[in-house]
Amino acid sequence: MLLSTLSLLVWASGCGKSPNVGSAVPAYVVPLSAAQAPMVTVRQIVERDSLVGRRVRVGGVCAIAGTGPSAGVWLLQAGPWGVEVRGLVPPSCFKEPVGSEALTIFAQIVEGTDSTERLLLRLPD
C-alpha cells in the first residue's frame, strides 16, 4: 500500500505544468552566426541589463583603438554612446580620419569589472 501511494504521489507531481509552458517570454536561442543574431544599438547595450550574456549585432564607428599590449581593445561608438570591444580590431580603426567608416560587428555582451560596465567580446562573422 505504501509503495502504491508513493508511486501515485511521484506520478501526480510529474503531471503538473512546467512553469515555462505557455510563458510569454520565448527561450533565448544562442545565435551561432552573425546572420542569426538580433541587431541592437550601443545605447541598448549600455542601458539594458537583460542583454548581458547575449550574442548580438551592433553598429557604430571605431572611435579609438589600443596599441601595443592593448592592441585587441577598441571603442565602438554610436552618437554619444560608446562601449569597449575586445577582439579583432577593424581596419577602419587605423584609417584617417578615425570614425569615418560605419561598421556592424557580431559580439557577445559581458559585464566589465564592475556590474554596471558592459564590454563586447567580438566574435568571428
- Per the rule left: phi > 0, alpha: psi between -120 and 50, beta: everything else, 44 is alpha
- Stretch (H or E) spanning 76: strand 73-78
Is the pTM for the entire model greater than 0.95?
Answer: no
Residue with cell 560587428: 105
Residue-range domains of the chain with CATH: 53-125 (2.40.50.140)
Residue ranges of alpha helices (H) inside 15-53 are 42-47
Average pLDDT across each block of 10 residues of the chain; the chain has 125 residues. List them in order.
37 44 69 95 95 97 86 94 94 85 96 89 93
**101 and 91 in contact (C-beta within 8 Å)?**
no
Looking at residue 22, its pLDDT comes to 54
